[in-house]
Structure 1
C-alpha cells in the first residue's frame, strides 16, 4: 500500500527545507563576517583600553621581530646566502633594539600601569600612553625595515623612538613629582629610564654619523644603566610581596631599605669602569654584586616558594642574577691576571637571556593572567616557554666556548624563536580579545 503525505498541513517539503537551510547558512556566514569585521574595527579601542595591553602587544611582537631578523642575519653570515646589508653594525643593532626596544615595551606597559598606584595618583588616560605606543613601537618597526638596507627609514624610526621615550618620561615624571619623589622604587625605575633615554639618544646620534664610541656606550648603558636597575628594583619590591601573599605567615618578607642604594652604587661603578674601558677592574663591582644578589636570593627563601608555578618561576629566574654576575667577575679576573682566556659574551647572555628573559616570561604571564580575568596560574604554554628558555641560555653560553661558535649562535637564535613562539601567539591573542570576566581594561 502506498501512503500519501500531505504537503499543506504544516510539514515542509524537501524543496522548502533545502531553501531554508541555504538561507540559514547565508545568515550564519554573513553574521560571522560581520562579527569578524566588528572585532577588527574594535581592536584599536580594545588595545588602547589599558597601557599594558598596547605595550605588551608591542613587546610580544618585538620578541619575534627582533630575533627573526637577528637569526636571519646570523644564518646568512654562516651559510653564505644573500641578506640585506644592515646600515649599522648588525651586532650593535641587535643589542640596541633588544635593550631599548623589545624589553622596554614591557617595562613601559608595567610602569605606566603601576606608577599611579604606587604613588597614589589617578590612573593614566589614553592621551598619556597611546603616544608612547605610537612613537616607540612605530619607530621600532620602521627601524627594523631600515635595517634591511634602507638607512633613511632607520633614522626616522630612531627619531620616533626617541620622541616616544621622551613623552613617556614626561608622563611618568609628572606622576613622580606629584608624589614628591618619595617612593624609592619609583625613583629608582625612573632614574634607570633617564639613563636609558641617554643611551638611546647616543645610538641615534651614532646612526646619524657621530662617533662609534657613542654606540658602544649606548650598549653598555642599556645593560647596567637601564635594564638591570629596573629589573632588580621591581623584583626587590614585588618578589617578597608575591611570596608572602602565596606562602602566608610562614614567610618573612625581606626587602631591606639599603638594598637599592647599595645596588645603584655597584651598578654605577660597573658602568663607569665599562665606559672608561677598564675591564680588568670590573671585578671590583661585579664580585660584590654577585654576593649581593646571592644573599638576596637566599634571604627570599626560594625553597619555600616552589608552588604555585607563577611564584616558582620568579625565584628560578632570580637565580640567574648571582650566576651572571659571577661570570662577569670571572671574566674580569681573567683579564686582570692576563690568563689568556676569555668567556666572550657568556656573562652578558646569562644576564640578558637567563635573568631578563626568564623574569619577562614569569612577570608578564602573571600580569597577563590577572589583567585578563584568568586564574593566576602558570599554564602549559608559559611553562613550555620558560623551560625551553633555560635551554636557550645554556646553548648561548656554550656557544662562546664551542669550536664552531658561528653555528651555535645560529642554533641559539632559532632556539629562542622556537621557545617563545607559542607564548607570543597566546599572549597576542589575549591582548587582542576582551577580558573573559567581562570587566573593562
Structure 2
C-alpha cells in the first residue's frame, strides 16, 4: 500500500465514513460478532446446535471470543491510536476495507467450514492467521518511521498472539487438546498484558483529566513488578509449550504477586473519586477484575479453584468490561463528539460486571449453580453489547460532527 492510499481521502472514505479509521469497522463488526457468537454459545449450552464450526463448538467459542472479538477490538484501537502516537496517517479506505474483509473471511470460514466444499483446514487456518501479522506490520511501519521505540512494545505482544493463535489451530489439526489449552491461555495472558500496559497509561490519565486532579506519579518498582510479573507468567506458559513445565507453586507465587501489585497500582489511581462517571468507573472496575483474575490464576495453581474461573475473571470481567468502557469513550472522541456517558452505557457496564460475577465468582463459591450462572452471564453480556450497538452504530457509520477527517 502506498503513501497516497493511507494519507489522502478517497472516494470510498468520502462516501462511507466507516472506512476512515480502523476503529469504526472493527469496533462495530467486532461487537456485533461477539453478540452473535454469544447467542450461538447460549444455544449450544442449552442443547441447540446452531453451528458445526471447525474444531467443534467448545474450540470455536474459545478461539472466536479471543481471536474474533477481542483481537478485532484491540486491532481497531491500536491502528487508530498509532496515528495519534506517531502523527502519521494510519490505514484507511480500500486497504482498511481489505483488512476487515480478511478478518471477516476468517470468521466465516471457521463458522461454516463446509461452505466452500472440502476446503483444507490448513487453508482456513492460514486465512485466519494472516490478520495479526498485517496489523503488526502496519503499526511497525508507522512507529519505526518516527523512531518511537517505546511503542514497539506492542509488536512482540502481537507476534506472540500470532503464536497463540497458531497453537490453537495446530491443536485442531493434530488433535492435541493440550496445545489448544496452552494457546488459549497464552492469548488470555498476552491480552491481559496489553490491558496492564495500556491501562497503566490511560486509566490514571483519563481519571486525572476528568477530576481535574494531578495524575499520581508512578512508583518505578511497583510499575516493574506489575508489568514484569505478567511477562513472567507469559514466559512460564511458553516454557510449558516448548519444554518442561515450571513447578505450579512458582506460577502461583508469581500470579499472586501480579494480582497484588496491580491491585495496589489500581488503588493509587483514585477510582473511588470517579463513581459518578461510568466511563471511568467502568475502566477502574475492569482493571480490578484483571488483578482479581491474576489472584485467582495463582490460586488455581494451588488447586484451590478451577483455572477456568480465573480465565473468565480475566476475560469477562477484565477484557470485555474494559473493551466496553474503552470503545464507548474512543468512539465518541474519534467521531468529534463530547466525551460523556450516553444514556444506557452505565447500565451496560453494570450488566457486564454482573456477568463477570455470575461467570467467575459465584461458581467459585457455589459450584452447584454453575449452569444457571453461565446462562445468566450470557444473557447479561448480550444485553450489554446490544446496548452499545443501539447507541453507537449510527455514530460509527457517520462522519465526524466537527467536519474533520477520521
- Normalising to structure 2: TM-score of the pair? 0.85
Answer whether contact 2:185 2:311 (CA < 8 A) is retained.
Answer: no
Answer whether contact 1:121 1:175 (CA < 8 A) is retained.
Answer: yes
CA RMSD after TM alignment: 2.8
Give the CA deviation at 1:429.
2.8
Give the CA deviation at 1:317.
2.1
Residue of structure 2 equivalent to 1:28: none
Q: Counterparts in 2 of 1:252-263, with a 5 A limit? A: 252-256=215-219, 261-263=224-226
Among residues 297, 318, 323, which one is paired with 1:328 in the alignment? 297
Classify the secondary structure of the residue corresponding to 1:319: helix
Residue of structure 2 equivalent to 1:295: 264
Residue of structure 2 equivalent to 1:207: 172
Residue of structure 1 equivalent to 2:104: 137
Structure 1 residue 365 and structure 2 residue 328: aligned? yes
Q: Deviations over 1:331-371 (max 9, x none)?
A: 223x3xxxxx5345221111111111111111110011122
CA distance in 1, matches of 2:176, 2:15: 40
Structure 1 residue 116 and structure 2 residue 83: aligned? yes
Answer whether contact 1:242 1:311 (CA < 8 A) is retained.
Answer: yes
For residues 43 and 358 of structure 1, do their structure 2 counterparts lie closer, same or farther at Cα, with a shift above 3 Å needed? farther
For structure 2, the residue ranges without an aligned partner over 5 or more in a row are 1-11
Residue of structure 1 equivalent to 2:142: 175
Q: Deviations over 1:35-67 (max 9, x none)?
A: xxxxxx999832112211121122121221221
Answer whether contact 1:240 1:253 (CA < 8 A) is retained.
Answer: yes
Residue of structure 1 equivalent to 2:125: 158
CA distance in 1, matches of 2:218, 2:120: 45
CA distance in 2, matches of 1:425, 1:318: 25
For residues 66 and 150 of structure 1, do their structure 2 counterparts lie closer, same or farther at Cα, with a shift above 3 Å needed? farther
For structure 1, the residue ranges without an aligned partner over 5 or more in a row are 1-40, 336-340
Residue of structure 2 equivalent to 1:30: none
Structure 1 residue 243 and structure 2 residue 207: aligned? yes
Runs of 4+ in 1 over 6 A off after TM superposition: 41-44, 147-151
CA distance in 1, matches of 2:143, 2:336: 29
Answer whether contact 1:52 1:110 (CA < 8 A) is retained.
Answer: yes
Residue of structure 2 equivalent to 1:36: none
Among residues 239, 252, 277, which one is paired with 1:283 in the alignment? 252
Give the CA deviation at 1:408.
3.2
Bigger CA radius of gyration: 1
Residue of structure 1 equivalent to 2:153: 188
Q: Deviations over 1:97-151 (max 9, x none)?
A: 1111201111111111111321343444435533321212331233223399988
Q: Counterparts in 2 of 1:379-418, with a 5 A limit? A: 379-397=342-360, 398-400=362-364, 401-418=366-383
Classify the secondary structure of the residue corresponding to 1:282: helix
For residues 66 and 82 of structure 1, do their structure 2 counterparts lie closer, same or farther at Cα, with a shift above 3 Å needed? closer
CA distance in 2, matches of 1:82, 1:317: 32
Answer whether contact 2:125 2:169 (CA < 8 A) is retained.
Answer: yes
- Normalising to structure 1: TM-score of the pair? 0.79
